[in-house]
Structure 1
Amino acid sequence: MVNTAYFLALILVFIRLTSFFLVAKSLFPKGTPPILKGAIGMILSFSIISGINYQVVLEINNNYMLVYSVISEIMSGVILGFIANMIFDFIRMAGGYMDIQIGLSMMNMLDPSSETTSTPFSNLSYFISMVIFFIIDGHHLLIKCLIQSFKVVNIGQNIVFQDTFSVVLDAFREYFVIGVKIAIPLVLIIIITDLCMALVSRTVPAINVMILGMPVKMVVGLLTFIALLPIMIKIVSYAFNLIPDIIEEMLKVLPAAPMVLIFAKEEKTEEATPKKKSEARKKGQVARSKDVGLAITMVTCTLVILLLSSMIVGNLKDTMIYFLQSGMLQDINEMSIKSIVITILLKAGLCILPVVIPIMIAGIVASLMQTGFLLTGEPLKPKFSKLNPISGFKNMFSKKSFVDLLKNLAVVTVIGFIGFLYVRDNYDKILQISNTYLPSLGGQVQDLVVGIFFQVSLVLVIIAAADYFVQFRFHQKDLRMTKQEIKEEYKQMEGDPQIKSKIKQKQREMATRRMMASVADATVVITNPTHLSIALKYEEGNNEAPKVVAKGADLVALKIKEVAKENDVPIMENKPLARMIYEQVDIDREVPQEMYQAVAEILAMVYKLKNKK
């Protein structure tokens, strides 16, 4: 019988390994035949398949899951190959830094293994790193990591998670630092050499430093590179040993929410608390639609054209007449220039301010309508999280961006269509406007402009209302909280319930200890006799009435009687009085007046017993 699960698992393992080999170009240069890569991948697949659990492929019962498994294996292989290849790229980078300082960066040559141009020290550093890689059995290390990846990430599962990119970025940072560490000694030495050559040139101008400097830097650079080889070997070996740690760190993030085609998070189902809404408002995170401001501004412009256009045109006409008539007749001197400037500002203000002020007020009103009075500098603070490419990619393909795209397309389409219809309906009127009597030309132009502005404003108001509703819904959804976040907020506001219960327990224990210590100084203990115990203290001259210093029921009552016996405190039985005091009198309170008679009888008996002794 054919074992389909075995062959399906074998194919998925082969896909992951082949993806790894295709990305890890440093291990398999450009000239490596694809058949050889496939053969090595198939051989390793047959070797690995027997040591892993491939029964998980039985869960693949439809085409969607099969496609998902194939994509997951490809992405897993690509990421692992990228990490393995990264160290060699940064070693090349270190060699490139060296060549720039030495002056060999101009000697670019085509590297047939990678089909890229590289410099001499870049190639030399790469070949040395490859030799070190095979000397320390780095290929065995990679194979072990690949086998381990199948044990942690089962066949068909995805390695791409929210924190995976953070691990890759950390690896990028770590290897970049390693590349700089390799190059920095030689770079510093060459810089010092350049400074020395500059001092020589300053001291002995006759020496041609431009001609002498190149061979000197090449010799110094080559000698320094040879001297740095032991350090370089140590750093490169350390870098290769980091590969398993990075892959292990990546595999540790597997319990996080997966991220393949979407960026999933813990489900936020709870409405935001008032505290969360208040904090969001302080940060400037409020429901806001830019179309509201645009619509109100457009309506304002329409009203300005309709109501103030005659005044604005009249002011422009008066200004032009003034400067063409009387303005040109003034003598040019210091006083007249000041007068002319003031006149220009006043008349320009009469023309510009009637347009600018209403539009500015409209913008302020539109902002206040949406957010109220809100003054915060939080959005202006520089945050490196805003430069996160993952967050940018997420925002680019979010539902909100998709809705904004549809809205913008709708706005452009609707406004374009309205403009087309308006021009079509007024086409003859526009063509005949050149035949209009000049004094009445302004009125016709005003009617045409107001007409198109009115129609566009009406559409923008409708779109702005719909967009604000959508933005408000998105804002409410963004503010939603998980059940865990609500619990954490409750803990911050009210305190951790477990800690509060422990504090209360400690307080009760301390109160009980203080109460038991007071029993030793009590005058008498009144009992039920088994369920209740009340310790009273009365000192003639110090107390107006007997005071309850301790009381308790059941086990606490027994403890009070034990302490009383140990300290020779009289114990009297009076069931009605004991129950009455227990229910009505708190600790450290004096007994009320209606109990004086009963308590006095008890105290009389106690004093009589003491006198007999």
Structure 2
Amino acid sequence: MIDLTNISELIVFILVFCRLTSFIMYVPAFFPSGTPQRFKIGLSLVLTFIFVPLINITNLTVNNSATFVVLIGKEILIGLALGFITTLCFSAAQMAGQLLDFHVSFSMSSLYDPISNETVSILGRVFYWMCLIVFLLIDGHHIVINCLVESFQLVNIDGLALKPELATYMIQVVIEFFTIGLKMAIPIVLIIIITDFTLGLVARVMPQLNIMMLGMPIKILVGLACFTLSLPVFMKMIVNNFDTVLEAIKGLFNIMPCIFVFFASEGGEKTEEATPKKKSDAKKKGQVAKSKELTSALGLLVITLVISILGGYIVNSLKQTLTMFLRDYSTISIDNDSLRGIFITSFIRIAIVFLPVAVPIAIMGILANVAQSGKILTTEPLKPKLEKINPISGFKRMFSLKAVVDLIKNLIIIIIIAYVGYKFILSNYEQVLNFGGFRVEAILTSLGELIVDILSKVTLVMIIIGIIDFVYQKYQFNKDLKMTKQEVKEEFKQQEGDPVVKGKIKQKQREMSMKRMMQTIPDATVVITNPTHIAVALKYEENTKSAPKLIAKGQDNIAIKIKEIAKENNVPIIENKPLARLIYNEVELDTEIPYEMYQTVAEILAIVYKLNKKTKS
């Protein structure tokens, strides 16, 4: 028993009802155009009450209204797809009949079918009814109900990922049924073509015969005879046609795996601001924040200025051009030279009128786009992409939040401009009525003033709307560019490398640096210690003017290692806690000691040289 007071069961009921209703509404073979809509909806409700207990959905949860709308849209899409494939079976048979009508000379005898609300040919309608009779004889209604039940088992109502292959598959299904229709008609069509060829030979041999009058009844007779003899073959092909319907529906289910990823939660919540790299990549693709309304408003501003400033010039130029052609070219003789002169003159006169208007508008359009998005030179938007013609992607774009916002924005613009126009007409209504008593020149002048006035008001409104829209587009663009934390990590990995690998590389570099440092200790002049925690090794070359250089330093275990190597290579080890600590903290490897340490280091070097002299003596 269905408990419609339970929110989860109510949602399931609504989704099942949407799929069944869209299927029933789409298939005219079962429910002709005269079928009352109440009956269709009632049948959908009855089937929904039957199907819902068969659907094992216990934990369906809908977090927000956007998710629910997407689920409803998905169910309607599935129902339409099932209805489309089912209708193709009858359409293939009807197409075969219409193709035969064309060759049998019945195409002129078309009739209006009130059931399907379309004009069909005779054999096309015969094939259609044959297909419907065969459908009932093989219990096709049972097959359809079984397919609907299987659709809920294979494509759950709580999940669906529409793959890009779906559009390709639907095209393949259409091609398959088109091929079936051709196969049904081709045998008789070939016979009719052979008959035409034979009649052509007869006309060639006996030209006195009126083959046109004789050929039509012969082709009708041959066509009907072949149709009658081929009825068993047609019946078999129609049965196979319904088998193709089952295969197409099962293939449709295979192309729709039961995993639905909502756009609201795709890839996690985008909370991180876009990185400079992502902004740069978006700009390279031509994706920038830009308001079409602001560009249009600035273009309208230029038009207003051009009309107000150059309006008189444009009218005078047109008047002079019209006068010149009516006066100077009405009696001219037409030849090649005169035509060339007329063409050149016309081109110049058009340029004189057109360029002062078109050039400022084009320049403002370019400047408006550059001011909003900067200098961009890319061919990325011009590249053909399959997503642009993918009906699934198009469906998502049609029902996206951006489409809703654009719709609301366009409605607001229309309402505001309509109101401005209404107020303008209301305030200038009496002046326009008095135009009948004006001279032609005065009418043109007053009309120009009215045009400039209405353009000024509309331009002001459009500029305000454009600025607001640009701010919104900037906000929406930055919001769309936001990234999830995972995307930021992935981008960091691509730019900087994997942190784990990078850490291992740094560790390897430290080991190699340590190894090189240890290899320089035997060349040291003296090792100064803390004495236990710190050890630094200095190298001083007497024959050079450079100061002593720090070639190794370390603390704890490294200090012990430095002292061990120094002992093995007879390098003097001197204990001086303050100096060892100072050198370790202040001096970098492979750099000379600073001036402040010269005195202390010199004293230690003097001790070292004395020890070396005693050792040698």
Normalised to the residue count of structure 2, the TM-score between the two structures is 0.66
1:574-595 alpha-carbon deviations (Å, 9 max, x no partner): 2344324323433234556727
Q: Corresponding residue for 1:62?
A: none
Q: Secondary structure at the match of 1:522?
A: helix
Q: Shift of residue 479 of structure 1?
A: 1.9
Q: Corresponding residue for 2:208?
A: none
Q: Shift of residue 45 of structure 1?
A: 4.5
Q: Corresponding residue for 1:362?
A: 360
Is contact 1:298-1:457 (8 Å) kept?
A: yes
CA distance in 1, matches of 2:343, 2:144: 84
Q: Corresponding residue for 1:437?
A: none
CA distance in 1, matches of 2:219, 2:558: 98
CA distance in 2, matches of 1:22, 1:136: 13
Q: Shift of residue 360 of structure 1?
A: 1.7
Is contact 1:561-1:571 (8 Å) kept?
A: no
Q: Corresponding residue for 1:401?
A: 407
CA distance in 1, matches of 2:192, 2:561: 94
Q: Unpaired segments of 5 or more residues in structure 2?
A: 119-124, 203-214
CA distance in 2, matches of 1:138, 1:43: 14
Is contact 2:131-2:238 (8 Å) kept?
A: no
Gap change, CA 1:433 and 1:14, over 3 Å in 2: closer
Q: Corresponding residue for 2:397?
A: 391
CA distance in 1, matches of 2:90, 2:615: 101
Gap change, CA 1:499 and 1:477, over 3 Å in 2: same
1:588 aligns with 2:590: yes
Q: Corresponding residue for 1:503?
A: 502
Is contact 1:395-1:401 (8 Å) kept?
A: no
Is contact 2:274-2:478 (8 Å) kept?
A: yes
Gap change, CA 1:16 and 1:578, over 3 Å in 2: same
Among candidates 414, 417, 421, match of residue 415 of structure 1: 421
Worse-superposed segment, 599-608 or 13-22:
599-608
Letter in 1 for 2:584: Y
Residue pairs, 1:1-12, within 5 angstroms: 12=11
Q: Shift of residue 424 of structure 1?
A: 0.7
Q: Shift of residue 426 of structure 1?
A: 5.6
Gap change, CA 1:301 and 1:231, over 3 Å in 2: closer
Gap change, CA 1:319 and 1:97, over 3 Å in 2: closer
Is contact 1:92-1:125 (8 Å) kept?
A: no
CA distance in 1, matches of 2:230, 2:254: 37
Q: Secondary structure at the match of 2:478?
A: coil
Q: Shift of residue 297 of structure 1?
A: 1.1
Gap change, CA 1:394 and 1:564, over 3 Å in 2: same
1:523-564 alpha-carbon deviations (Å, 9 max, x no partner): 255432332233456789899776544322334434545666
Residue pairs, 1:31-70, within 5 angstroms: 41-42=48-49, 45=52, 52=58
Q: Corresponding residue for 1:252?
A: 260
1:276 aligns with 2:279: yes
CA distance in 1, matches of 2:491, 2:256: 37
Is contact 1:535-1:549 (8 Å) kept?
A: yes
Residue pairs, 1:96-495, within 5 angstroms: 119=128, 141-142=150-151, 144-145=153-154, 149=157, 153=158, 166-167=162-163, 170-171=165-166, 173-178=168-173, 180-181=175-176, 184=179, 239=248, 241-242=250-251, 245=254, 248-249=257-258, 251-254=259-262, 256-257=263-264, 276=279, 279-280=282-283, 283=286, 285=288, 286-287=290-291, 288-306=294-312, 309=315, 313=319, 317=323, 320-323=326-329, 328=331, 332=333, 338=337, 341-342=340-341, 345-346=344-345, 349=348, 352-372=350-370, 376=377, 378=379, 380-387=382-389, 388-394=394-400, 397-425=403-431, 427-428=433-434, 430-433=435-438, 442=441, 444-481=442-479, 482-484=481-483
Q: Shift of residue 472 of structure 1?
A: 1.7
Among candidates 512, 536, 550, match of residue 534 of structure 1: 536
Letter in 1 for 2:260: K
Worse-superposed segment, 282-291 or 197-206:
197-206
Q: Shift of residue 458 of structure 1?
A: 2.4
CA distance in 2, matches of 1:412, 1:539: 92
Gap change, CA 1:587 and 1:418, over 3 Å in 2: same
Is contact 2:547-2:593 (8 Å) kept?
A: yes
Is contact 2:550-2:588 (8 Å) kept?
A: yes
Q: Secondary structure at the match of 1:252?
A: coil
CA distance in 2, matches of 1:309, 1:499: 70
CA distance in 1, matches of 2:519, 2:281: 55
CA distance in 2, matches of 1:38, 1:499: 57
CA distance in 2, matches of 1:344, 1:36: 71
Q: Corresponding residue for 1:557?
A: 559
Q: Corresponding residue for 1:572?
A: 573
CA distance in 2, matches of 1:569, 1:218: 117
Gap change, CA 1:510 and 1:533, over 3 Å in 2: same
Is contact 2:272-2:483 (8 Å) kept?
A: no
Q: Secondary structure at the match of 2:368?
A: helix
Gap change, CA 1:424 and 1:473, over 3 Å in 2: same
CA distance in 2, matches of 1:134, 1:340: 74
Gap change, CA 1:97 and 1:403, over 3 Å in 2: same
Normalised to the residue count of structure 1, the TM-score between the two structures is 0.66
Q: Secondary structure at the match of 2:483?
A: helix
CA distance in 2, matches of 1:225, 1:609: 121
Q: Shift of residue 421 of structure 1?
A: 3.2
Q: Shift of residue 511 of structure 1?
A: 3.1
1:600 aligns with 2:605: yes
Q: How many pairs are equivalent?
A: 561
CA distance in 1, matches of 2:286, 2:296: 18
Is contact 2:528-2:536 (8 Å) kept?
A: yes
1:60-112 alpha-carbon deviations (Å, 9 max, x no partner): xxxxx9x999988866754554555565445556666777788899999999x
Kindly, what percent of the aligned residue pairs are identical?
16
Is contact 1:98-1:187 (8 Å) kept?
A: yes
CA distance in 2, matches of 1:43, 1:281: 55
Q: Shift of residue 302 of structure 1?
A: 2.7
1:313-349 alpha-carbon deviations (Å, 9 max, x no partner): 456546655457xxx4x7x486xx6367537744884
Letter in 2 for 1:600: L
CA distance in 1, matches of 2:560, 2:187: 88
CA distance in 2, matches of 1:283, 1:364: 20
CA distance in 2, matches of 1:404, 1:297: 22
Q: Secondary structure at the match of 1:364?
A: helix
Letter in 1 for 2:279: K
Q: Secondary structure at the match of 2:552?
A: strand
CA distance in 1, matches of 2:84, 2:23: 9
Letter in 1 for 2:521: A
CA distance in 2, matches of 1:467, 1:493: 39
Is contact 1:18-1:41 (8 Å) kept?
A: yes
Q: Shift of residue 230 of structure 1?
A: 9.6
Is contact 1:535-1:550 (8 Å) kept?
A: yes
Is contact 1:519-1:550 (8 Å) kept?
A: yes
1:225-272 alpha-carbon deviations (Å, 9 max, x no partner): 979999996x777655556655543x3325x4189xxxxx96789599
Gap change, CA 1:21 and 1:602, over 3 Å in 2: farther
CA distance in 2, matches of 1:225, 1:526: 106
Q: Shift of residue 478 of structure 1?
A: 3.3
Gap change, CA 1:349 and 1:513, over 3 Å in 2: closer
